[in-house]
């Protein structure tokens, strides 16, 4: 009641109250969770301040007054007003372009998942025209182009060799452009490696850049066990079983209950003809991860008969 009496005689004291509330919301947004209610209050509180100030100083409006005040506008006001108008229109158009670009990007992803490469390519090209600064758009273009190159290469036609080469070149360029746009996003590196692995089906030389990209990803996320697993599988594709074993051991060290990594490691031991290590690994899987794992049961039975 005492605070109300003070503010009744000193309306400006509400300004400090509103300022404190706004500061609290800013701190909550920065250090806590930014929920819808906090977002609404962030914009609503300044509006409440303006409304309260106008209540103290009411403004009268006369709709019958002729618009003679326009004649008093000077050229500076006209120029500034024009800039504000043009800037507002440009801003709204830019926002709409970003919205449409996102829609085209999502359509491209959907069409690619359905195997419709032509429609996927058409939509991602339109997205890139509307927004050429989004790394994911370049990456999606690389994925689409690599899939197109792979599909054409399966036709095994001599006249398509040039087209496959050109599409492969484009996929690499778009891949590199995506990583240049955002060199610190882990998922971009994973998807970029996927592009190189797809191209590696056409030419095994692309398994090497796929490995390099995954190594960079591993530096960004050294505790992700999926990355050394993928590196191990790539090493196996390049017939480097010793390096594959090293990567797979890293994976199970990072995640000791990683079932798939243990299976790949056991398979690698078999390919290296390390029977004792393979038996030990399959036994570990059955004792510590999944006692009913059929692959481990079958492989262990076969190895013990040798």
Question: Which token pair is 279?
Answer: 């038996």
**Any domain includes 92:** no
**Any domain includes 171:** no
Half-sphere exposure of 28 (CA within 13 A, CB side): 15
Q: Locate tokens 């009496």: which residue?
A: 5
**Any domain includes 33:** yes
**Any domain includes 198:** no
Burial class (CB in 10 A: 0-12, 13-18, 19+), 97: middle
Cα–chain-centroid distance for residue 269?
Answer: 36
Q: Locate tokens 């998942």: which residue?
A: 113
pTM listed for this prediction: 0.72
The domain boundary residue, chosen from 33, 57, 81: 57
**Any domain includes 212:** no
Kindly list the distances between the CA atom of residue 182 and the CA atoms of 64, 99, 130, 179, 188, in Å, as whole numbers in the listed order. Answer: 58, 20, 18, 5, 8
What sign does the dihedral 47-53-56-58 (CA atoms) show?
A: negative
Give the pLDDT of residue 15.
67
For residues 299 and 302, what is the distance between their CA atoms, to the nearest angstrom? 5
For residues 13 and 5, what is the distance between their CA atoms, to the nearest angstrom? 11
**Any domain includes 153:** no
The domain boundary residue, chosen from 57, 78, 104: 57
Give the pLDDT of residue 129.
95
Residue 19's domain spans which residues? 1-57
Total domain count, the chain: 2
Closest listed residue to residue 209, CA positions, set 245, 159, 171, 156: 171
Give the pLDDT of residue 11.
54
**Any domain includes 34:** yes
Per-residue pLDDT of the chain (306 residues; tens, 9 = 90+): 454 555 555 556 666 777 777 777 777 766 666 667 777 777 777 777 777 666 655 555 555 555 555 556 678 778 888 888 898 999 899 999 999 999 999 999 999 999 999 999 999 999 999 999 999 999 999 999 999 999 998 876 666 788 899 999 999 999 999 999 989 899 999 999 999 999 999 999 999 999 999 999 999 999 999 999 999 999 999 999 999 999 999 999 999 999 999 999 999 999 999 999 999 999 999 999 999 999 999 999 998 887
CATH number where 256 lies: 1.25.40.10
The domain boundary residue, chosen from 57, 72, 87: 57
**Any domain includes 218:** no
Give the pLDDT of residue 13.
61
């Amino acid at each position: 009641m005492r605070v109300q009496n003070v503010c009744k005689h000193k309306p400006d004291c509400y300004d400090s109250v509103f300022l404190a509330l706004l500061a609290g919301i800013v701190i909550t947004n920065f250090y806590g969770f930014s929920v819808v209610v906090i977002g609404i209050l962030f914009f609503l509180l300044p509006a409440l301040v303006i409304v309260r100030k106008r209540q103290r100083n009411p403004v009268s409006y006369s709709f019958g007054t002729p618009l003679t005040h326009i004649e008093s506008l000077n050229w500076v006001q006209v120029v500034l007003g024009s800039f504000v108008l043009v800037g507002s229109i440009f801003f709204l158009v830019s926002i709409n372009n970003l919205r449409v670009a996102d829609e085209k990007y999502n359509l491209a992803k959907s069409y690619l998942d359905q195997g419709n490469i032509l429609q996927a390519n058409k939509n991602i090209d339109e997205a890139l025209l509307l927004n050429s600064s989004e790394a994911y758009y370049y990456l999606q273009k690389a994925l689409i182009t690599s899939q197109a190159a792979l599909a054409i290469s399966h036709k095994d036609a001599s006249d398509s060799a040039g087209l496959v080469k050109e599409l492969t070149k484009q996929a690499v360029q778009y891949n590199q452009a995506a990583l240049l746009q955002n060199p610190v996003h882990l998922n971009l590196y994973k998807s970029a490696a996927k592009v190189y692995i797809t191209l590696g089906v056409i030419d095994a030389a692309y398994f090497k850049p796929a490995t390099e990209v995954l190594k960079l990803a591993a530096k960004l996320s050294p505790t992700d066990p999926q990355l050394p697993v993928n590196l191990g599988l790539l090493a196996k594709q390049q017939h480097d079983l010793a390096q594959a074993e090293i990567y797979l051991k890293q994976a199970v060290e990072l995640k000791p209950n990683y079932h798939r990594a243990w299976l790949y490691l056991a398979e690698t031991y078999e390919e290296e003809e390390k029977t004792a290590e393979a038996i030990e690994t399959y036994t570990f899987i059955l004792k510590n991860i999944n006692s009913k794992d059929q692959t481990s049961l079958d492989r262990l039975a076969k190895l013990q008969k040798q």
